Amino acid sequence: MKYKFFCLILLVAITGCAAESADSRIAPAGTHLINISPGRDLWNTTGRKNPELLFDKSIADGNKTDQEYFMNNDFAKPMVFFISLGDSCYDKLAIDYFHGHGASNWTITVYDSNRVQKGEYKITGGSNKWDLLQGDLSSISSPIRFIRFQSADPSSDVREIRIYGNGVAKCSPIVPVVAAKSFPDPGISFQGGSSIGGKDVTYMKLQSGLPLYGSFRSPSNVFNWVHDFKAPIDQQAFEIDKYGDFDKNTLSFHKSMGTPVMLYINGANVKTVPGLKTADDYNAMTQTNVFKDIPPGSDSTAYEPWTKSHGRLWKVMAHLWGSNRNDVLPDSYKIYGASHPNLAAGQDKIKVFEIGNEDDKTWFGLTGYHSPTVLLQKLKAAWDAIKTTDPNAKVYLGALLSADTVQWKALYFLNYWLYPGQPFPADGFCFNQYISNRYGGQSHHTDADAVSPEQFQVTERITSYRNFRDRYFPGKGLRWTEIGYAVGNSDYNVKSVPGIPDTIVAANFMVRTLERAAVVPNGLEVVYNYFHTSDGSGVFGSMYMVREQFDPTTYAYSGSHRMPIWWWYATRMNVLHDYKGWSTMVKNGDSTGITVTRYDHKTNPALQVYYVCRGTYDGSVSKNYPVNVGKATKATLVTLTVGKEEGSRTELPVKGGVVVVPLVNEAPQYIITSQP
């Protein structure tokens, strides 16, 4: 099999004398080999996955152990990445590089600590030997800190690169070391949900008067454009809520329930049309591109095109649904609402504006590789529009596929590079992460199946995401915006467990996911279940809390059937609504045993709730399991039951600070306890 690949390796030591060996190169006079740490110094601004592989092993010495894995996906064209030379600047710079057999060329650009370009050099491929790029570099007077590598076609050309230099000055770190910031406990808002439209709000309120969800994420394309053939794209008007069920029903309902809403625009993102530069993106009837993000033919890696329509749209939404009642739109903004003419400023219906959704999905689109620069410019245009309208509004970077720390790190560096001294334009980050046994749970695959949250190591993953956030973006929020389990024919379907309906298995897994995530302190603010109603797709179509029903004759909506997961969420809300959102691990049974966690009451230290569940995935049970409940004298066992919003409740005797749970299986159970 023929592989196209590129590997960059910076070795730390030089030994041996064999001709053309990777260990035979000698540092130029007055220099030493610069140790590059891939986790700290490589800034892969094309968002390529697994950049650490670029520093793995010496391809120049014929080691090809990583080729097959490394080339599961093609490289970006062009591929661009930066290397920062640690926290120092260097003179007498030299780059030693090994040519492969390929014919592709590389451009190397060097910069000083102020990001000022000091030189640009070309290296050509195909010679299958080592060369030293020294003469031109050594004549540069300014010390160098950054090196940019770019190739239009990163094939099997340069296979290994070493950088030499003489350190002459210390620089301030790109990522300053600061203490992690503490977040307020999210409380029951940790239990989130999402939906399109508003006809199901009846099934978002419990008999107790509580909401089904503590937080709500709403994707909805709520604006329709009035297309004036003579008007440019940045002077089009907005028609709000044309179908009348989003603002009037969904937003108004959640405001009345006190449920914070996060909004993103369904469809209006760049994952479908990455660059918006081809004729296919242009609609001759409306003289706009399909998704109305930027003017047709404009450069999606530049900031200004995103202000033309994308920024204006977010400004309108912040004006209407933010909290600034004193905001006044410029005369160039025109809004009307035929079905729902509430156009007052500062209606305070949206707490968080999420910019985009899965914008990293289509890496190879109509216009080529989708650069993180596009995400940054799109985000910044929305940030500027929203914050100038409502400074108190929260702006989150739209969900990426999985918690893509490589992409987040690239965005950090690009903001540092393009907007020096300016804060990163987001109050938090979102990620969509489904759970299966293929490709980290995210990519669709016909033979994929769901695995349990314990098998997927949800707790460990959330811990690592939190730690990454604390390092690069301290104080920024973190939200898991899509997670769900399917039944039937899906890439995320649960497998059959003897004696348990698949819908019960899926409901158990969803609540177990919440509990495995909640045990990470200072981690996630909220986990949003996907989806309240079916989104109609084959892969995700069975991930619903309620199944809509329609009159067979008139096709009129006649109500919804509540699935087991609805009852599970209702019970969890009724049990935990007055308790803290983050729990404490008492016993970690992982995927083979029993896990016990504890929830503390927000205000009353005498009240606690214990979560108990087996983390297995085979129908296993444990009988008469003892749980230490401390000083509690009263205990009530809550078992999740279809048809009972409060769950099935049984008083348990407390003896010596211990209660015995008669049967612990793979369904979550809660023990409500109280002290004298």
Q: Which domain holds residue 399?
A: 190-499+510-532
Distance CA 211, CA 573 (A): 8
> What size, in residues, is the chain?
676
Angle (deg, nearest 10), helices 310-321 and 372-389: 40
Burial of residue 209 (number of CB atoms within 10 Å: 0-12, 13-18, 19+): exposed
**DSSP code at position 247:** I
- Does pLDDT of 109 surpass 90? yes
Mean local confidence (pLDDT), 312-334: 92
How far is it, in rounded angstroms, from Cα 85 to Cα 34? 7
- Phi and psi at 384, nearest 5°, equal -60, -40
Please give the tally of structural domains in the chain: 2
> Cα(470)–Cα(475) distance, rounded to whole angstroms?
7
Residue with tokens 């770190």: 173
Q: Which two tokens stand for residue 525?
A: 């603010």
Residues 314 and 420 in one domain: yes
Take residue 125 and report the two structure tokens written for it: 């491929």
Quote the CA–CA distance of 139 and 145 in Å, as a whole number: 15
Element (H, E) at 537: none
> Helices in 84-209 by DSSP H: which ranges?
135-138
Residues 438 and 474 in one domain: yes
Question: What mean pLDDT is predicted for residues 647-652?
Answer: 98
Q: How far apart are CA 93 and CA 654, in angstroms?
A: 73
Q: Are 464 and 407 in contact (CB under 8 A)?
A: no
Confidence category of residue 71, pLDDT binned at 50, 70, 90 = very low
Q: Are residues 99 and 241 in the same domain?
A: no
CATH number of the domain residue 430 falls in = 3.20.20
State the pairing for strand pair 622-628/658-664.
antiparallel
**Residue 640 belongs to a domain:** no
Clarify whether residues 312 and 389 are in a common domain: yes
Q: Which residues pair with 546 in a beta bridge?
A: 562
What is the pLDDT at residue 596? 98
**Which among 214, 217, 200, 204 is positioned nearest to 264, based on CA atoms?**
217
The alpha carbons of the chain give a radius of gyration, in whole angstroms, of 28
Inside any domain, residue 252 = yes
Higher pLDDT, 240 or 215: 215
pLDDT in tens, 433-474: 999 887 565 566 667 889 999 999 999 999 999 999 999 999
Same domain, 73 and 217: no
pLDDT band at 558 (very low <50, low <70, confident <90, very high): confident
For residue 161, the domain's CATH number is: 2.60.120
DSSP string, 376-409: HHHHHHHHHHHHHH-TT-EEEEEEEES--HHHHH
Residues 276 and 230 in one domain: yes
Cross-strand pairs, 151: 79
Indicate the residue type of 654: V
Confidence of residue 296 (pLDDT cuts 50, 70, 90): low
Per-residue tokens: 337: 């609402």
Considering the domain architecture, whether residues 147 and 252 belong to the same structural domain is answered as no
The CB density around residue 225, as the number of other CB atoms within 10 Å, is: 15
pLDDT at 278: 41
| Residue 553: count of CB within 10 angstroms of its CB | 6
Both 166 and 230 in one domain: the answer is no
**Is residue 53 situated within a structural domain?**
yes
353 lies in some domain: yes
- Confirm whether 581 is domain-assigned: no
Residue 438 lies in a domain: yes
CA distances from 326 to 262, 332, 390 (A): 22, 18, 9
- Looking at the domain assignment, is residue 68 inside a domain? yes
Identify which has the larger pLDDT, 503 or 50: 503
Which of the residue ranges 60-64, 117-121, 475-479 would you say has the lowest mean pLDDT? 60-64
The answer on 165 and 257 residing in a single domain is no
What is the pLDDT confidence band of residue 189, given thresholds at 50, 70 and 90? very high
pLDDT given at position 17? 28
- Name the residue with tokens 């454009």: 225
Structure tokens at 414: 């690009």
> Could you tell me if residue 164 is inside a domain?
yes
Residue 243 sits in the same domain as residue 134: no
CB 53 within 8 A of CB 81: no
* 215 and 343 co-located in one domain: yes
Can you tell me the distance from the alpha carbon of 12 to that of 277, in angstroms, rounded to the nearest whole number?
44
pTM of the model: 0.89
Is there a contact between 455 and 617 (Cβ–Cβ < 8 Å)?
yes
**Residue 114 burial class via C-beta count within 10 angstroms: exposed 0-12, middle 13-18, buried 19 and up:** exposed
User: Is the pLDDT at 282 greater than 80, yes or no?
Assistant: no
Give the residue from 170, 198, 223 where a domain finishes. 170
Token pair, residue 460, equals: 């460990």
Q: Closest Cα partner for 160 from 205, 120, 183, 130?
A: 130
Q: Are residues 124 and 196 in the same domain?
A: no
